Amino acid sequence: MTETGSDSLLLMLHPGDHVAVARRGLEPGSALAEGVIRISAQDAVPAGHKIALTDIGEGEPIRKYGQVIGFAMRAIAAGEHVHSHNLTAGTFGREHALATDATPLQMHDPASVPTFEGYLRPDGRVGTRNYIAVVSSVNCSASTARYVVDRFRDPAMLRDYPNVDGVIALTHKTGCCVQPGEPALQLERVLAGFARHPNVAAYVMIGLGCETNQMSVLVENQRLNVQRPGETAPTFLTIQELGGIRQTVERATEAVASLLPVADALRRTTQPARALVLGEQCGGSDAYSGITANPAVGFAADELIRYGGTAVLAETPEIYGAEHLLTRRAVSTAVAEALLERIAWWEQHVAMHGASIDNNPTYGNKQGGLTTIYEKSLGAVAKGRSGAALGGLPLRRAYRQAGPRVHGHARLRPGEHDRPVRRGVQRGGVYHRPRQRIRL
């Protein structure tokens, strides 16, 4: 048995925790120390996984980050590996204090606000890119949109337009038989958000003709037919009205070609960091995410907010079990109650399908040391740090109020998994750059 100091082997995140994180793989019999605690590893514990610091009785809550991450499925001895074989999520009540800790961050001196070179749009928002978009209003026109973009993939096509960052296809997999009502309206809002994203200088929208998500209705409902001052006029095309895909591709190609000089005439200008809207999202989480990457993103978000910018914390089901930490920071009881309403919706939704929110941690998450949704969520909310006041925006209103008008940390309500979350925050006008270094 080899005596080894805790500085190199264990990481205890909170004085009240029942478990510590193994900094590297532990062999059975390893003697370990964490403060005044002395234990011997009973099992092999992979790096990033949890080891019990004390004896835990069957059914007792287990804490990490100072919060409950689940319950012991059986008696657990100090030194045992704690994971899916002996830890279950269970259910428990959480104290949802409402808007009790909404302390604004101390703002930086306005004279010291950093700047970046961006594209000031007619509505006051600022883009970091200058794209021409080809948007499919329905899944049936997605291939057609991509055919159009293929015409501009040759660098020679854009050689004369150095200020255009590219021609992009914004497609999706719904719209044909979408459920009328809120599902259809949400799709409309997402597509309108794509079209008027601050990174899009101009766009062409393509529909099929017989779909439920009728482009004419979308255009009217989202007021895409109302051209704002300084806004480039869009082009709307319907495949069946034009006589087929080939004709549509030709017409759309002509429309994009006519937009290239318009977009190229735009220039980057010096803009304050407060114009930035940052989207935050997890991806491929493991036990280190809540200790390293997520707090680092949270720090960057806080700095952006202190300069007057906005950060968006998405993925509502991945705050489940940690939402009580966020309701305290809500800017009002109404915002806190709206967040709790969304949590209740997810509980009802998964129960209706005979599922569990604890199904969320993936195989990869668990291989990396995460066991329950509570544990994953407690690490995920670190992207929101602790100082910024929290504002809540449902997907249908997000960033009608954002950009230069609302600043701070906001909650967004898109779907659960990475892809719909990305679409949701992008629709909201967010500069979504996951897993890339953030520089002001």
In this prediction, residue 161 carries a pLDDT of 98
**pLDDT in the model for residue 2:** 38
pLDDT in tens, 393-438: 543 343 333 333 445 555 555 455 555 545 555 545 555 443 333 3
In the β-sheet with 115-120, what is the strand arrangement from edge to edge? 126-127, 115-120, 269-272
Calculate the CA 363 to chain-centre distance: 20
Burial status of residue 41 (CB atoms within 10 A of its CB: 0-12, 13-18, 19 or more): buried
Q: How far is CA 119 from CA 265, 331, 398, 433, in A?
A: 11, 31, 21, 17
Residue 261: is its pLDDT beyond 70?
Answer: yes
Average pLDDT, the chain: 87
Q: Write down the pLDDT at residue 437.
A: 32
In the predicted structure, residue 387 carries a pLDDT above the cut 60? no
Select, from the ranges 247-256, 303-312, 351-360, the one with the highest average predicted confidence (pLDDT): 247-256
- pLDDT tens digits for range 79-110: 999 999 999 999 999 999 998 988 878 899 99
The residue-averaged pLDDT of 10-17 equals 95
**CB of 144 within 8 A of CB of 249?**
yes
In eight-state DSSP terms, residue 104 is P
Q: How many CB atoms lie within 10 A of CB 251?
A: 17
| Residue 282 pLDDT | 79
Query: Above 60 in pLDDT, residue 4?
Result: no
Predicted pLDDT of residue 36: 83
Longest dimension (CA), the chain: 79
Nearest Cα residue to 212 out of 152, 137, 158 = 137
Which residue has better confidence, 206 or 230?
A: 206
Neighbours of 16 (CB within 10 A): 11
Interior CA angle at 342 toward 83 and 423, to 5°? 85
Give strand pairing partners of 77.
Answer: none
CA 277 → CA 14, 163, 274, distances in Å?
32, 22, 8
Other C-beta atoms within 10 Å of 404: how many?
Answer: 17
Q: Does residue 88 contact residue 373 with C-beta atoms inside 8 Å?
A: no
pLDDT at 429: 55
Q: Residue 374's pLDDT is what?
A: 96
- Whether the predicted pLDDT of 332 surpasses 90: no
pLDDT at residue 6 greater than cutoff 70: no
Any residues with CB less than 8 A from the CB of 148 and at least 6 apart, and which? 134, 167, 169, 204, 206, 249, 252, 253, 256
pLDDT at 331 over 90: no
How far, in Å, CA of 190 to CA of 423, rounded? 8
Q: Which residues pair with 31 in a beta bridge?
A: 3, 40
Element (H, E) at 410: strand 408-412
- Catalogue the E-assigned strands of 226-276: 235-238, 269-272
**Cα separation, 268 vs 259, whole angstroms:** 18
Q: pLDDT tens digits, residue range 176-212?
A: 999 999 899 999 999 999 999 999 999 999 999 999 9
User: Collapsing DSSP states into helix, strand and coil, what is residue 31?
Assistant: strand
Higher-confidence position of 43 and 387:
43
Between 415 and 258, the more confident residue is 258
Q: Residue 5 and residue 121: Cα distance in Å, rounded? A: 57
Residue 26 near residue 2 (C-beta atoms within 8 A):
no
pLDDT in tens, 262-319: 999 999 999 999 999 988 887 789 999 999 999 999 999 999 989 999 888 878 888 9
Nearest to 313 by CA among 428, 199, 192, 155: 428
Q: Which are the contacts of 44, defined by CB distance < 8 A and separation ≥ 6? A: 25, 26, 27, 28, 81
Tens digit of each residue's pLDDT (9 = 90 or more) over 115-130: 999 999 999 999 999 9
- The pLDDT of residue 280: 87
Rounded CA-CA distance 196/395 in Å is: 15
pLDDT band at 329 (very low <50, low <70, confident <90, very high): confident
DSSP 322-352: THHHHHTTBSSHHHHHHHHHHHHHHHHHHHH
Domains of the chain (ranges; CATH) run 6-88 (2.30.130.110), 131-264 (3.40.50), 274-427 (no CATH)
